[in-house]
Structure 1
Amino acid sequence: MSKNTEVVVIGGGYAGVMAANRLTRRGDVTVTLINPRPDFVHRIRLHQLVGGTDAAVVDYQEVLGEGVRLVVDTVSRIDAAGHGVELASGGTLAYDYLVYAVGSGSADPSVPGAAEFAHPIGTYEEAARLRPVLDALPVTAEVTVVGAGPTGIETAAELAEQGRTVTLVCGGVLGPYLHPRGRRSVARRLAKLGVSVLDGPDTQVTAVTGDAVRFADGRELPSAVTIWTVGFGVPDLAARSGLSTDALGRLLTDETLTSVDDARIIAAGDSAAPSGLPLRMSCQAAMPMGARAADTVLSRIAGETPETLNQSFAAQCISLGRGDGIFQFANRSDVAVWFNIDGRLGAKLKEIVCVGVVKHLADEAEKPGGYRLHRVSGGAARQRHLQARQTEQAEQVEVHGQAGQAAQPETPAAAQRAAA
């Protein structure tokens, strides 16, 4: 009789659900998914939760395979040496393999007053808390959105479409990822919605108060509600558990997504840093990484060599209210190109993506192993980057080694010869 393998997945987002579903391919694998919420958070709809146009949650019964056991709890510590996780409720769970997919959330703001007065929306709970705050305000109240990445742009557009008075503070460039052509398209749509866009280096926010946003030059912008969408952070679970992480706290792995510390721990999604070169935080990266993490575990169980990461990007899509959007195409190095689809068709494509993400997870739950996007060719650019970095590191070692040899202290015999 073959031994049953226990796999614990921490985190029930895009990466964690994909990994958990895929792991049920083998009948001798028991999969437990630990998540702090009883529902799946459709994170790319959180701006709609803020705007009141979508609940941004999906019942786990729709996306999680029947063979996956769901534990609603929070992991407080990973005991890598003991192959177990400690739960906030006081219990423990043992594992043979662990998939670390804790995702990301709002970054801790360093700007004075932001933590106290601004409203982050990087998690479901944060977005849900903001919704009643907005409902209590008159529609004419000034709303300021700080941060002009996809989340900031989408939130500003969603609220402006409802007739609210919205200012989008970029702190730099509007939509940094976008190609200039796509950026102009987004700017036109925001202007049509009535959003005041403040961009350029002088729009760095230096302080937030209860009723204003302050800039470096001393200007103040009245703000009844300030929404903070600047950057993402990751949970510190890996660092607290003594595992190696990058500066942000993402678990360091090799290209098979295996922890550099422990072959039984595999990471996926926003909380993973393969080779110290993390991918763009997105569901576009999270689901393929979840599939790759599951395949790594299954390969190890089968005694096979896991395949390496082969991640390809195609685009970034941004909704601009319910009737407009942009689908910004990119090359396989994840650099935006001139071509985009905007307007109503752009909005339809964004909605297709939002619906399609849930369908991918549901399909994998019904037929584990059916998902194939993580096998699409396109990782050559990443491999070239890794090879270039390895070459640079080898050259540095060689130079340092030569310098070290040149600076070697004299041996006693050599010193005696020099003195003579």
Structure 2
Amino acid sequence: MSENTEVVVVGGGYAGVMAANRLTRRGDVTVRLVNPRGSFVHRVRLHQLAGGTGDAVVAYREVLAGSVELVVDSAARIDAPRRRVELASGGTLPYDYLVYAVGSGSADPGVPGAAEHAYPIAGLEEAQRLRPVLDAEPATAPVTVVGAGPTGIETAAELAELGRAVTLVCGRVLGPYLHPRGRRAVAGRLAALGVRVLDGPGAQVTEVTAGAVRLADGRELASRVTVWTAGFAVPDLARRSGLRTDALGRLLTDETLTSVDDARILAAGDSAAPSGLPLRMSCQAAMPLGARAADTVLARIEGERPAPLNQVFAGQCISLGRRTGIFQFSHRSDVAVGVHLDGRPGGRLKELVCDSVVKQLSGEAAKPGSYKLHRVPGGSARRKALRGGQGTALPAAEPAA
């Protein structure tokens, strides 16, 4: 290997920016970040952008270390044998190590009419597309939000607080991750906002038209605007590049986040599947994974043994309009417990968390190595138990010389 180490980070979201910033700890490492747009997207605020109550775009100069070269382009293919990234523009980027952090986006709904008539909001352009559609409709026009995870709940609450007539179609359960106590609190707040919540086995969407949503139990809901928040997918870049993935397309790695096919390739964030047991898609997981992937690269450069994944969770926070929210506490293993904080205190905590995400990225950019949350103890034992029960740890590729 040459005296200088070249690292390419593919994807400029939470995991990619954290990894890129952390890699600047060494002056002999050149870091290039490949991202299709020239601004950072704060995805946890996309429902605000769609509703017109806030923004979700942050300039990279606020979160990315100045020594990181931003390449505004898309990765078309990873040529692992030649250690280079082929770009959509036709250029190539060589690397000694690559961090795969392509994130996630909207999944194919798989429901007749949904692709044509429903509006997903998992990405910036999708949220920007939805906003003028909502603005063009009167407040009395019926809006249907499909999907009762955090994005669906937040979107329904945001629009209802603006005076919209909103129906939230859950599929089965409102807030599947939430503890029953937290679920009741969310249901109460949505009811106070006037959101009509449909759950149970019959509340599964079977068809979307230009003016209606049809459910499995035969009900037909008038819907001038249908917002689709059910399900996420990951880009197929790894699969197209001949790297092994799980069924969803996440790159398979060992517990150091090293690809099972190539020790020069690491994965982090929503597009990583450590030991075939991926973590919940969230910025809460993405940033520690980005830091862990960077630490693995740095350990390899220094000839040291990289530490295994040690991911712990605190809970899940959901905004319920601009003033209230809920923080659902959990075990470190990401299982909800019967304790939550809701109302205005929950809303303030949610805003604090959202603001702290940008501050943590900025802090790592200013002082690489200062981020410590991926080293909080308590996650490795849970990972070992999962590998022994639900999945099989996959062998990693041998480190390259």
Shorter-chain-normalised TM-score: which range? over 0.9
Distance in structure 2 (CA, Å) of the matches to 1:49 and 1:160: 15
Structure 1 residues 19 and 115: alpha-carbon distance in aligned structure 2, compared to 1, 3 A threshold: same
Q: Indicate conservation of the 8 Å contact 2:276/2:393, yes or no.
A: no
1:49 maps to 2:49: yes
Task: Write out per-residue CA displacement over residues 97-122 of structure 1, whole angstroms, 9 at most, x where no aligned residue.
Answer: 00000000001110111111100001
Whole-angstrom distance in 1 between the partners of 2:391 and 2:128? 45
Q: Which residue of 1 aligns with 2:188?
A: 188
* Number of equivalences: 393
Matched, 1:214 2:209: no
1:300 aligns with 2:296: no
Q: Identify if the C-alpha distance between structure 1 residues 159 and 84 changes in structure 2 by more than 3 Å, giving closer, same or farther.
A: same
- Mean CA deviation greater in 127-136 or 379-388: 379-388
**What residue in structure 2 maps to residue 283 of structure 1?**
283
Structure 1 runs of 4+ aligned residues shifted over 2 Å read 387-393
Partners of 1:270 and 1:279 in 2: CA distance: 8
- Which consecutive residues of structure 2, in runs of 5 or more, have no partner in the other structure? 395-401
Matched-pair contact (CA < 8 Å) for 1:142–1:165: yes
Aligned to 1:381: 382
**Distance between the aligned counterparts of 1:76 and 1:385, measured in 2?**
34
1:95/1:172 CA distance change after superposition, 3 Å: same
SS of 1:174 mapped into structure 2: coil
Query: Equivalent residues in 2 for 1:103-252 (5 A)?
Result: 103-252=103-252
SS of 1:58's partner is: strand
- 1:297-329 per-position Cα deviation (integer Å, ceiling 9, x unaligned): 000011111000000011000000001100000
- The residue number in structure 1 matching 2:362 is 362
Q: Does 1:13 align with 2:13?
A: yes
Contact 1:214/1:220 (<8 A) preserved: yes
Q: Give the whole-Å Cα distance in 2 for the aligned partners of 1:287 and 1:386.
A: 22
Tell me, yes or no, if the aligned pair for 1:143 and 1:164 is still in contact at 8 Å. yes
Determine the structure 1 residue equivalent to 2:398: none
Partner residue in 1 for 2:397: none
Higher helix share: 1
Aligned counterparts of 1:154 and 1:13: Cα–Cα separation in 2: 21
For residues 100 and 378 of structure 1, what CA distance do their matches in structure 2 show?
A: 26
What residue number does 1:399 align with? none
Change (3 A) 1:119 1:2: closer
Q: Helix, strand or coil for the counterpart of 2:202?
A: helix
Whether the aligned pair in 2 keeps the contact of 1:102 and 1:235 (CA below 8 Å) is: yes
Q: Report how far residue 382 of structure 1 moved.
A: 1.6
> How big is the alpha-carbon RMSD for the aligned residues of Structure 1 and Structure 2?
1.3
Segments of structure 1 that go 5 or more residues without pairing to the other structure are 394-420
Residue identity matched to 1:130: L
**Contact 1:2–1:28 (Cα < 8 Å) also in 2:** no
Q: Is the 8 A contact 2:277 2:391 kept in 1?
A: no
Q: Over alpha carbons, which structure has the higher Rg? A: 1
Query: Percent identity over the alignment?
Result: 76
Question: Structure 2 counterpart of 1:154, which letter?
Answer: E
- Equivalent-residue separation in structure 1 for 2:31 and 2:94 (angstroms): 11
| Equivalent residue runs for 1:75-90 within 5 Å | 75-90=75-90
What is residue 396 of structure 1 aligned with on the other side? none
Q: 2:318 is matched with which residue?
A: 318
What CA distance in whole angstroms lies between the structure 2 residues aligned with 1:208 and 1:77?
35
Classify the secondary structure of the residue corresponding to 1:201. Answer: coil
Whole-angstrom distance in 1 between the partners of 2:209 and 2:270: 31
Task: Using structure 1 for the length normalisation, give the TM-score.
Answer: 0.92
* Number of the residue aligned with 1:33: 33
Deviation (angstroms), 1:387 = 2.8
> How many Å separate the matches in 2 of 1:390 and 1:224?
44
1:321–1:263 distance in 2 versus 1, CA, 3 Å: same
Do 2:276 and 2:391's aligned partners in 1 also have CA atoms closer than 8 Å?
A: no
What is the CA-CA distance between 1:218 and the residue it aligns to?
A: 2.1
1:127/1:390 CA distance change after superposition, 3 Å: closer
**Superposed CA offset, 1:31-56 (max 9, x none):** 00000011000000001001111110
Asked if the contact 2:169/2:198 (under 8 Å) is kept, the reply is yes
Deviations 1:335-357 (A, max 9, x none): 10000000000000000000000
Contact 1:103 1:271 (C-alpha < 8 Å) held by counterparts: yes
For 1:349, the equivalent position in structure 2 comes to: 349
Is 2:30–2:68's contact at 8 Å kept on the other side of the alignment? Answer: yes
